[in-house]
Amino acid sequence: MRVSIVVAGIVATLLALLGSVFVVAEGHTAIVLNLGRVSRSEIGPGLHFKWPLVETARVFDRRLQVLPAEPERYLTSERKDVSVDFFAIGQIEDTRAFYRATGGNEETAVERLAPIIRDALRNEINSRTLQQVVSGDRTRIVAAQLDVINKGASTLGIQIVDLRLKQIDLPTDSKVIEDVYNRMRAQRQQVASKLRAEGEEAANQIRAEADRERSVALAEAERDAQTLRGEGDAQATRLYAQAANKDPGFYAFQRSLEAYRKSFSSGDSVIVLDRDDPFLQYLRSDR
C-alpha cells in the first residue's frame, strides 16, 4: 500500500515537472498564458518553466513566412481592369499583439492581413496607367505602399518584410484584352502601311530611273543611227558622184530605169506626158 502511494507520488511529481517545462526551438518564440491571459511574452529559444495546470505555453514560428493571397482585380487610372497575383513575406514581430488579434491562429492572421495589402495596392494601381502597371518597375509599386501596409500589419503583431507581384494579367472577361489587341493591330497596320508606302516610293524611283536610262539609251541609239545613216548617205552620194563622173550616160540611164521602176511598181499606174518629155527618152524606139 505504501509502495503504491510512493509510486503515485513519484508519477505525480514527474507529471508536474513535465507540465512545468516547455522548450522553444531556434527561430521560434513563445508566450505564457495564466488562466487564459498573457502573463509573459517574447520568450526566446531554450528551456523554460511555467506553473503546471495554471499556466500554458504557446509557441509560434518567428521565421519569415510566405503569406499567399488570391489574385485581385484592380482598376487603373484609365478605368481598365487588371488582375494582380501577389504574395507577402512576413514574420511575427509582436507575439502579444499577434495572439490578442488572432488568437494565435495563422490562418486568421492571413485573412485579416490580405485586405490591408489589397487596399494598399489598390491605391497605388489606381494612380497608374495600364502601361505603367504592366511594363513599369514593380518594385516601385511595392515600395511606395510597404510602409502603409506595415502600419496596418502592426495591429496584428506582424511585420511585412517584402511584397512580390507574381503576375499581372488582363482579365479574360474584360474588354481590355480586345482593346489591347485592337491597338496592337492598329500599330501593326500602321507599320505595314508605312512599309508599303516606302516600298512604293522605292519602286517609283527605280521605275523612273529605268525610264530615264531607257530614254537615254534610245536617244543615244537614235543619234548613232542618224550618224551611221548620214555616213552611209554621204558614202552613197560619193559613190554615185564617182560613177557619174566615169560614165555620165550610163549613170543617167540607170537613174531613169530606177525612176521607171518606182513609177510603175504598182502595175496600174498611169502617167500622162508629152511624147517629147525627157522622162521618156529611153523608152523611144529610136534609142
At position 7, the amino acid (one-letter code) is V
Q: What domains, with CATH codes, occur in the chain?
A: 2-61 (no CATH), 65-172 (3.30.479.30), 256-280 (no CATH)
Q: Cα–Cα distance between 281 and 287 in angstroms, integer? A: 8
40 backbone φψ class: left, alpha, beta (φ>0; ψ -120 to 50): beta
Q: Among candidates 166, 152, 78, 79, which has minimal Cα distance to 119? A: 152
Place of cell 507529471: 15
Q: C-alpha cell of 201?
A: 516610293
pLDDT value at residue 12: 47
Q: Cα–Cα distance between 244 and 261 in angstroms, integer? A: 20
Q: What is the pTM of this model?
A: 0.51
Q: C-alpha cell of 185?
A: 493591330
Contacts of 202-206 spanning 24+ positions with Cβ under 8 A = none
Write out residues in the chain with pLDDT < 70, as ranges.
1-19, 136-137, 171-180, 243-244, 247-253, 256-257, 260, 263-287
pLDDT value at residue 172: 64
Q: Among candidates 78, 68, 74, 32, which has minimal Cα distance to 51? A: 32
pLDDT value at residue 41: 86
Q: Cα–Cα distance between 157 and 59 in angstroms, integer? A: 15
Q: Cα–Cα distance between 109 and 157 in angstroms, integer? A: 9
